[in-house]
Amino acid sequence: MTGDAIIEMEHIVTRFGRQVVHEDISLTVSRSEILGLVGGSGSGKTTLVREMIGLDQPSEGRVSLFGERLDQIGAEAIAALRNRCGVLFQGGALFSAFTVFENIAFPLQEYRAIEPALIRDLVYMKLAQVGLGPEVATYLPAELSGGMTKRAALARALALEPEVLFLDEPTSGLDPVTAQAFVQHLQSLHRELKFTAVVITHDLDLMRDLCTGLAILADHHIVAKGTAAEVATSSHPFVHAMFSGVRGQRAFGTMAS
Amino acid sequence: MRGIHEGNVTNEGTNRRENGQSTTAGRFEPAGYHTVGDEHGRTIVVLTGPWTLRGINGRANTLSQELEKYARNDGKVVWDCREVESLDNFGALILWRLQGFTRGNAIEARPEHAALCERWAQRNTPPENTRSPRVRPLAALSSIARAAQSHLTGFTTLVGQFVLDVLHLARHGEDIPWKDISATIYEAGVRALGITALVGALVGIVMSYLSSLELRTFGAPSYIVNVLGLSIMRELGPLLAAILVAGRSGSAMAAEFGVMRLTEELDALAAMGISRTVRLVLPKIVALAVALPLLVVWTDAIALFGGMVAAHITLGIGMRGFVYALPSAVPVVNFVLGIVKGAVFGTIIALVACHFGLRIEPNTRSLGIETTNAVVTGITAVIFVDAMFAIGFRGIGLP
């Protein structure tokens, strides 16, 4: 284990029945890196992230989180590792019967090492951190707009001061202004908290503004990995289409040509 | 601040280190502190280790209490945070809560850590609403009245809309949702055959055993046919089938509406211009009104068969004799009454399930509450209506 690798995946193969999703994928995420995981619909990005947290097991290969092999440590140890991770699910996955306050307080209460008196302060701090006012605390998830749901879900993901953050399409379904603000929030949070992050995204602007590295998933493999400039030189058809298309040109300029 | 480390180092509290140097690698060191005196007679509190959620790990109260005595604003205490390995919101909160920590006691901190503490200084935690809710009987009464009114309006609207839909479909036959009706009959009727048969047979056997004991003491064993036939066909068959269907299908129907609300399917249907009462409510009512009478016949038959076998074993009554004696012992109107009850019960169960299903709000708690309400209210309503039947038809079909 190298000191700075937070997530290491080695020779990952994933099969659902006869359908092969991943074929020999190796990937390392270093401390404080924000890795953008990019790929076409159905290319297995979410599955790869679920394997990183141990929610799914790969058919073959090894996954290490914080230097610990997930297939060798017990369920209890995995749960302890997950305490150090925050996950923002695509649809937010807020508990619909809880208010926003209770949603964010939930992981803090479950952690048990936090005095109840501090939880209130922490919850309102998290809300402010993601740019939500204190009045939102009493809302139920059904009463929130799409952007507010994402922010509230991010606040919950940040509740236990995670060292690693997994974001599944954080800007999908947001209007451009809200998406831009959301990315800026993530940027400033990253400056402040120095977390490591894996971001699944289709948003080219987000890749440009937030990600320090990109990994492109296509044809069951990681076909390109590196900074945006390095990835853009790849000759793989998917990468080429993504960066030299009209939208790619707009976001990344003429880098690809 | 030069020279502070040359003073007397006093290790305190939970800090177990020999000196004030922060470790960078190796063993995990928890958050801690030590104090040093400097040449001006001031106390310097040096915070060390990771002041994070995991670094503090449950010692927030201990650390706060120990540090409280240094949180003075008399210029005799200086805080040094430069040796803090890492600081997160939680650590910053613990420090910020110390009285006077931010009030100019020469805090030495790295800029990124200072920014975090600054954040807390600007925090905005609204005051907790500590007023305990007073019990106001009048308000409670009025809220009960309002709930009753809302249920009454909702149910009346549902029934009225059902009648309007039926009238509409009578004129536009092509709109009748045959597929939905047939699917619900299969789901609520055909798939309930197994459980109604099992319960029916068991109740028939129990009834037969219990009655046979009494009848034997009176020396009238052949009356077992009358007892079983009347009670099963008139009361038990319809009631058993209805209660089982209310539990099975009532909950399923209410939950279906709830999940459709959660996933915005109800809105999607409305946006396509499709009436949810015609496509969702009406098929359920029609299907249960058709399926439950059929289930009643089935339950009657199985329960009587169970009772007949038990009677054969305990009283030695021949099965052929039992079957032949049945028509003369029990007037056929009882059987018809049971079937009519089945149709009425089916309609009630479906109406109640739809009523509560459509009241489900888009959250999991409401889903659970209203589904329970649908089943409990459905069964209660069935028994209530059964009692009205018993009173209303007391002069008919009884010997």
Specify which of A170-174, A175-179, B71-75, B328-332 reaches the highest per-range mean pLDDT: B328-332
Q: Which residue has the higher pLDDT, B84 or B99?
A: B84
Q: Looking at CA atoms only, how far is residue B125 from chain A in angstroms?
A: 6
* pLDDT tier, B8 (very low <50, low <70, confident <90, very high otherwise): very low
Place of tokens 């006077």: B100
β-pair type (A213-218, A34-39): parallel
pLDDT at residue A3, as a whole number? 54
> Considering chain A, what percentage of its residues have pLDDT values greater than 70?
97
Torsion of CA B308, B312, B315, B317, to 10 degrees: 90
pLDDT at residue A255, as a whole number? 53
* pLDDT tier, A257 (very low <50, low <70, confident <90, very high otherwise): very low
The C-alpha atoms of residue A167 and residue A160 are separated, in whole angstroms, by 15
pLDDT at residue B13, as a whole number? 41
pLDDT at residue B99, as a whole number? 58
The encoded tokens of residue B29 equal 């060191």
A82 vs B contacts (CB less than 8 Å): none
Whether A161 sits inside 8 A of B89 (CB atoms) is yes
The H-or-E segment that residue A213 falls in is strand A213-218
- Chain segment B281-304, per-residue pLDDT in tens: 999 999 999 999 999 999 999 999
Is the predicted pLDDT of residue A99 greater than 80, yes or no?
A: yes
- Report the pLDDT averaged over residues B222-230: 90
The C-alpha atoms of residue B30 and residue B11 are separated, in whole angstroms, by 14
Give the total residue count for chain B: 399
* pLDDT tier, B10 (very low <50, low <70, confident <90, very high otherwise): very low
B88 vs A contacts (CB less than 8 Å): 161, 193
Quick one: which of B64, B59, B52, B48 has its CA closest to B16?
B48
The C-alpha atoms of residue B324 and residue B161 are separated, in whole angstroms, by 47
- Report the pLDDT averaged over residues A94-110: 86
Task: State the complex-level ipTM.
Answer: 0.72
pLDDT at residue B303, as a whole number? 96
- Report the pLDDT averaged over residues A208-216: 86
DSSP secondary structure, A1-50, as one string? --TTEEEEEEEEEEEETTEEEEEEEEEEEETT-EEEEEE-TTSSHHHHHH
B363 vs A contacts (CB less than 8 Å): 96-97, 140-142
The encoded tokens of residue B169 equal 């479909």
CA angle (B157, B161, B163) in 5-degree steps: 120
- Report the pLDDT averaged over residues B13-38: 55
Give the total residue count for chain A: 257
- Chain segment A113-158, per-residue pLDDT in tens: 777 778 888 888 888 878 888 888 888 888 888 888 888 898 888 8
Q: Which residue has the higher pLDDT, B196 or A186?
A: B196
Report all structural domains of chain B as residue ranges with CATH numbers, in order of start.
9-19+27-121 (3.30.750), 150-392 (no CATH)
DSSP secondary structure, B80-129, as one string? E-TTEEEE-HHHHHHHHHSTTTTSSS--B--HHHHHHHHHHHT---PPP-
Residue B181 CB partners (closer than 8 Å, separation 6+): B283, B286, B287, B290
> Considering chain B, what percentage of its residues have pLDDT values greater than 70?
87
Interface size A-B, in CB pairs within 8 Å, comes to 74
The encoded tokens of residue B339 equal 């079937």
Whether B58 sits inside 8 A of A125 (CB atoms) is no
Whether A125 sits inside 8 A of B119 (CB atoms) is yes
The encoded tokens of residue A204 equal 């080219």
pLDDT at residue B133, as a whole number? 67
A97 vs B contacts (CB less than 8 Å): 363-366
Q: Are B152 and B160 in contact (CB under 8 A)?
A: no
Q: Looking at CA atoms only, how far is residue B17 from chain A in angstroms?
A: 23
- Chain segment A16-34, per-residue pLDDT in tens: 888 888 888 888 888 888 9
Query: What is the number of helices (H) and of strands (E) in chain B?
Result: 16, 5
Specify which of A144-153, A220-229, B63-72, B144-153 reaches the highest per-range mean pLDDT: B144-153
The C-alpha atoms of residue B160 and residue B154 are separated, in whole angstroms, by 10
